[in-house]
Every structure is written in C-alpha cells, then in structure tokens.
Amino acid sequence: MRCRHCATPLLQSLVDLGAAPPSNAYLTAAEMTQPETYYPLKVRVCHNCWLAQTEDYALADALFTKDYAYFSSTSASWLAHAARYSEMAIERFSLNEQSLVIELASNDGYLLKNFAAADIPCLGVEPTASTADVAQALGIPVLREFFGEELGKRLQNSGQQADLIVGNNVYAHVPDINDFTLGLKAALRPGGTITLEFPHLLRLLSHTQFDTIYHEHYSYLSLYTVARIFATCGLRVTDVEELSTHGGSLRVYGCHVDDGRADSSAVANVLQIERQAGMQDPGAYLTFQTRVDQIKDNFVEFLIQQKRLGKTVAAYGAAAKGNTLLNYAGIKSDLLPFVCDAAAYKQGKFLPGSRIPIFPPAKLKELQPDYVVVFPWNIVEEVIGQNENIRSWGGKFVTAVPTLEIR
C-alpha cells in the first residue's frame, strides 16, 4: 500500500486490531440471522509525510450508509461545544446575512442551527440520509452527497463559495484526503476561512487511545501532516487551537495560500511540541501495539474476574469506541450482557460484531448492575452526571482506556 497523500510505500505498522465490522453498522433483530462483513483494521504510518492511515479495505459508501447511526445532538457537551464555536466564529469572522457558512458532514444540524438562528445563510453537506433528514426538518438546506473537488468546483461555479467552511470530525473520515482538500480550496471564497477539528495523533499515541481507531477513520492526523497536505493543495494553516474534545483535538484555521493574514505563533508552538514528541521519528510508533494489548488484556481480565465473583457488569454508550475495544478483545454478551444508550435510534438494535443488545438507560435502574463500563470515555463526566443514581445501589463506573479505572 502507498500513502494516501504522498504515495510513499507504507512500511511501518502502528497497530493491528484484527478484523471487525464497521463500527457504526448496528444490527436489527432481523439482521441477527445474517452474516456480517468484517474488514481488517490496521493502521500504517508514512515515513515521508507522517500520515497515519488505515489499510485500504473498506469503501466509504459501505461505512456511511443511509441509516448511519451517529447523531451529533445526542451529546449535550458536544452541543454546547458547537454553540460556543458558532458564537466565536460569527464574531471573529464578522459573519452576517450576506455571508455563507458551509459545513461538511453537517450531520443532524447540531451546529448549523446556531448560524441559522442568527440569520446567517448556511448549507450542509451530508451523505447519510438518517442525519440529513433531521437537519432538513430544522430548515437547514443539505446537499446529500460526499464532498470532494468535484463538488467544491460545482459550488464555486454556481457562486456558492463560502466565507466559512466548517469540518468537525470529518477530515479523518475521508478516504481521499487530497481530493477533499482540493474541494476545500475550490469552495472557499477569497479571504474566507476553513476550520477543521480532528483528534490529535499526538494524544492518540501518548494516551493509547486505540479505541478511536475504526474503519470510518481513514486518517490519524498531526498538525505537521495537515500543514503539508494544505500546502500541496494551495492552502495554508494560519492558526491552531488545542481542544479537550474527543480526548484531545486540534482546530486548525486555514486560508488560501496567498491570503495576507499572518500565521499565528500557535502554529509554530504546536509543531515544536510534535517534534519534541518525536512524531517525525519511527521510534515514536514502535511501542503502541504493546500498550494496546496491555489495555485489552486488563479489561478482559476485569470482566472475567467479576463474572467469577458473581458481580454483574453492563455498559453505557453504544459508541464506536466501545465496538473497537469489544471486537479486538473478543468480548460477547456472556461477559457483558447489555449496553444502554440515550440515542433512540440505537435502542433495540445490537452492537456490530459482539452482537450485544442495546437498551434505553432505564434498563440500568431496572437491573442495577454492580459496574457500568462507560465506552465514550471522552464524555465520562457527562455520563456519570446523567446516571448518578447508579451509586444509590452501590454501582460503580468503569473506564478501560487509557488504563482501567473504577470510579
């Protein structure tokens, strides 16, 4: 395999997580009698541009289907994050009723509804019908297709270049990152701004966040690599912020390469942090597999121990993170009988691979498990706050990544 950005042969493995079905391919009761499609889940690292990337197996249209089950609005903390961003962007970029904001992977309208409420014209691009339906019900116009250079040029030619292009947790999800970035270039008005948020590869490595690896995440990104991709496509990273979301993310600000704005000192600072962490050195990636296996082994050992002690364990959050962990560890319903989730769209279905049933949160009160494993550890405090009643019967919360922790 060659690098998706620079075509350099990929010789180094970051991690091999075996094979698993797509992490958001939740099963209905009828589908439980049918076979599932498994794809190898391996990540390699390019020694030229340092793009970490999954091996080529799964096609985007097999992952982001019409019944895609991730709805951004399920998380209250993420809605608050989107509202804060919208307020900041409107002020920072002086957006008004003459502006245009385009969000790529606009999902269920969780972010664009803030711009619409401020009477700022907006357009969503979202290929999954399940989420696009919700956004359109809010009055947000949505193009139901994948974004790339062809669509970017179509928007350019139709006079729909954006003053602000937003991409939250989509840049890592695109199989052809060069084509996507060229689309950004075409769809951006002169003087306009791009903001992209994505999990920072530095945090994935330092905190062994292997459960954020799944087929829908084709790329695992550093600022160094993103700046290189931007430059190749006629764009420039002009500012960057470090965020706490998703276990540690970056928000990069981009513009046309000939834009007159000076680069923020934050760009050089983050690049220096990455260099000091050795992210342009093969050695930084060598111990990851061993640390992943230790986390997996500790979690399996915990579940087996509780079963032998006669304790009951359930889970909260039918999240992609949990599916990566469960499928790599080979955990089934004999060790983890059920998972609860607040998203009505997932309730009554089954996790891909492990086939563990998904129930509403009320099931926790009904069955009163001794331990509740929180799979979306990035919002663990929010989950605990919403389910504090678990402590009333002596229940405890558990997270498995980066280390097994009982709360």
Domain that holds residue 146: 72-285
Same domain, 328 and 257: no
In 3D, which of 10, 1, 16, 5 has the Cα closest to residue 289? 16
Look at residue 149 and tell me whether its pLDDT is greater than 60: yes
Q: What is the CATH number of the domain that holds 310?
A: 3.40.50.720
Per the structure, how many domains does the chain have? 2
In the predicted model, what is the mean pLDDT of residues 369-394? 95
Domain boundary residue among 239, 259, 285?
A: 285
- How far apart are the C-alpha atoms of 243 and 78, rounded to whole Å? 12
Q: Is residue 98 part of a domain?
A: yes
Kindly indicate the confidence band of residue 110, based on its pLDDT and cuts at 50, 70 and 90.
very high
308, 265: one domain: no
Beta-bridge mates of residue 196: 167, 252
Tell the burial category of 207 from Cβ atoms under 10 Å away from its Cβ (0-12, 13-18, 19+).
middle
Question: Is there a single domain that holds both residue 105 and residue 215?
Answer: yes
What's the pLDDT band for 71 if we cut at 50, 70, 90?
confident
Contact 185, 233 (CB under 8 A): yes
> Given this model, what pLDDT does residue 41 score?
96
Residue type, 263: D
Q: Band of the pLDDT at 75, cuts 50, 70, 90?
A: confident
pLDDT of residue 97: 97
The model's pLDDT over 252-262, given as tens digits with 9 standing for 90+, comes to 999 999 999 99
Instruction: Check whether 85 has a pLDDT greater than 70.
Output: yes
Tell me the CATH number at 130: 3.40.50.150
pLDDT of residue 58: 54
Among 366, 298, 371, CA closest to 336: 371
Per-residue pLDDT at 78: 86
Query: In terms of domains, do 190 and 316 share one?
Result: no
Task: Report the chain's mean pLDDT, rounded to a whole number.
Answer: 94
- Per-residue pLDDT of 4-63, as tens digits, reads 999 999 999 999 999 999 998 999 999 999 999 999 999 999 999 999 999 976 565 555
pLDDT of residue 377: 94
Predicted confidence at residue 130, as pLDDT, reads: 85
Residues 76 and 182 in one domain: yes
Give dist(CA 41, CA 19) in Å, integer.
5
For range 354-359, the mean pLDDT: 98
Q: Show which of 285, 314, 334 is a domain's final residue.
A: 285
Examine the domain organization and report whether 362 and 259 are in the same domain.
no
Please indicate, yes or no, whether residues 318 and 270 belong to a single structural domain of this protein: no
Closest CA to 196 of 265, 93, 102: 102
The reply to whether 47 falls in a domain is no
pLDDT digits (tens, 9 = 90+) for 179-220: 999 999 999 999 999 999 999 999 999 999 999 999 999 999
Q: Please report the pLDDT score of residue 42 as a whole number.
A: 97
Residues 276 and 339 in one domain: no
Query: Would residue 32 count as lying in a domain?
Result: no
Residues in the chain: 407
**Of 257, 285, 313, which closes a domain?**
285
On whether the CB atoms of residues 365 and 340 are closer than 8 A, the answer is no
Distance CA 288, CA 44 (A): 12
pLDDT above 80 for 67: no
Residue 35 lies in a domain: no
Q: Is the pLDDT of residue 364 over 90?
A: yes
Are residues 246 and 328 both part of a single domain?
no
4-20 pLDDT, tens digit per residue, is: 999 999 999 999 999 99
Q: Is residue 94 located within the same domain as residue 159?
A: yes
Q: How confident is the model at residue 298 (pLDDT cuts 50, 70, 90)?
A: very high
pLDDT for the residue 159: 96
318 shares a domain with 279: no
Q: What confidence category does residue 345 fall into, taking pLDDT thresholds of 50, 70 and 90?
A: confident
Whether residues 142 and 270 share a domain: the answer is: yes
63, part of any domain: no
